[in-house]
Amino acid sequence: MKTTDISVIVTTRNRKYEVKRALDSVRAQTKKPLEVILVDDGSTDGTRAYIESQAYENLRYICHPADGQHSVGHSRNTGIREARGEYVAFLDSDAIWYPRKLEIFAGELEQSREQVDVIYSRYKRHIRFGWRELPIKPDFACESREEILLHSLANASASLYRKKFLEEIGLFNEEMATNTDWELLLRGMYQRGCSLVSVEEVLSENWTMYDGMTRQREVELRERLQLFSRYLDELDRADQIRNYYRLYIEEEREEIPQEKLDAELIRACGDSPERIAKLLEYQKQEIEKWRAQTNRKGSFYQLMCNWMRLKLSGGSVAGRLAEAGYQSVAIYGAGNHGRMLYEDLKGTQIPVKYFIDKQKKGESGEVPVYLPGEDLPAVDAIIVTPYLEFASVQAALQDKTHSRLIPLNTLVQPGI
């Protein structure tokens, strides 16, 4: 396998500046592709003029008329039909590749003794003010077939596909606005099976662009439900996976009314009462998890706001502890809040004698770290930083200490 057998297909619509970043990342590859095909879905922001003004080597520019918007599947399929390479690599205009991506993928193909249908790597997804590495690995053993049911295993911009494999399974679904990468891989796996190679290295990044399909929450919901319904029977046989399945996008589903969810569930299942019942049960479980997570995030946000207000008003956690007569403390939880509290108390009149942590996280040598089940030295108070679990922490420590337990949030509440 040679890297010259790879056709690169870049898709865009009205992202003149983003597509420049994407194309520059292709130009920076240490191994050059056979060709670069840019498929423009009718941009009206000057993308054509920009592309024509640049000296991109070996670039073919295909621009659809600006008389309507097509799906990303339509643009990708246009590129596939034009591609001359044995393999095709996709790059959306809101993504970039690291310089060695094609080199590493080509090396995987050369080393493989079997024909490879899909190679995918890990990637960074930027959303709002943070990012995370995907795909998330399940914490249990499962086969590729099961893992594809769990989530969108191969993001198109982080993957390489054998062109003949795509042609055999019917290319991308042009009717779907979202989740096209996931649907294609599910279809390929269940129609004919596919040979997957995973690269456990981050080789690309993408950004959630709120001018595109990611804003269409109801479309996202409907299409995920349709996928979920289509493969529900297979999912039921993989009992390990059902609790890990993510039916909705966490960042977006809070704006979808419950009655809308129920209506789309019924729509996705047709007139099968059994399938509707199963989906309703899964939906209930997922919503309960999401609500718990949302409440947790909201509580943590309020904690940080109160903590900041306390500081701005001239107060401090150390001052409040001193006013209550405490002279020494321990901190339960060596995570982010525990470390922040430790730094806040460092150098004050309230010394932190030790941490208590289930996994001895954050042990730095500055102070000892004890497990909850160990004998704990005497202190005036133990500040519990995972305060939402205060009751269970209190029960766990009741036979290990006579110190007063204080939830962290109560130390920063206004008006105390």
Q: For the segment 353-404, what is each residue's pLDDT rounded down to a tens digit?
A: 999 998 775 455 688 999 998 889 999 999 999 998 999 999 999 888 999 9
pLDDT-derived band of residue 106, with 50, 70 and 90 as boundaries? very high
pLDDT-derived band of residue 286, with 50, 70 and 90 as boundaries? low
Question: Looking at residue 34, what is its pLDDT?
Answer: 94
Helices (H), 112-198: 144-150, 163-169, 180-191
**The two structure tokens encoding residue 2:** 């040679």
- Residues 226-251: tens digit of each pLDDT: 787 788 777 766 665 555 555 444 44
Decide the pairing of beta strands 329-332 and 159-162: unpaired
CATH 3.40.50.720 range(s) for the chain read 317-412
CATH for 3-213 (3.30.9.10, 3.90.550.10, 3.40.50.150, 3.30.1510.10): 3.90.550.10
Query: Among 27-31, 88-92, 163-167, 310-314, which stretch is predicted with the lowest mean pLDDT?
Result: 310-314
Neighbours of 383 (CB within 10 A): 29
Helices (H), 114-179: 144-150, 163-169
Is 317-412 CATH 3.40.50.10190?
A: no
Q: Model's pTM, two decimal places?
A: 0.65
Does residue 214 surpass a pLDDT of 70? no
Does residue 225 surpass a pLDDT of 80? no
Residue 154 is classified by DSSP as: S
**Which residue, 83, 168, 178, is CA-closest to 118?**
168
CB 103 within 8 Å of CB 31: yes
Question: Looking at residue 361, what is its pLDDT?
Answer: 54
Work out the percent of the chain whose per-residue pLDDT is above 70.
85
Query: Among 105-109, 218-222, 324-328, 353-357, which stretch is predicted with the lowest mean pLDDT?
Result: 218-222
Query: Among 38-52, 146-160, 274-288, which stretch is predicted with the lowest mean pLDDT?
Result: 274-288
Neighbours of 64 (CB within 10 A): 17
- Residues 35-51: tens digit of each pLDDT: 999 999 989 988 998 88
How far apart CA 142 and CA 199 sit, in angstroms, is 17
Work out the percent of the chain whose per-residue pLDDT is above 90.
48
Question: Looking at residue 365, what is its pLDDT?
Answer: 65
Q: What are phi and psi of 57, to 5 degrees?
A: -70, 135
CATH 3.90.550.10 range(s) for the chain read 3-213
Residue 394: Cβ-neighbour burial (10 angstroms; 0-12, 13-18, 19+): middle
E strand or H helix at 215: none
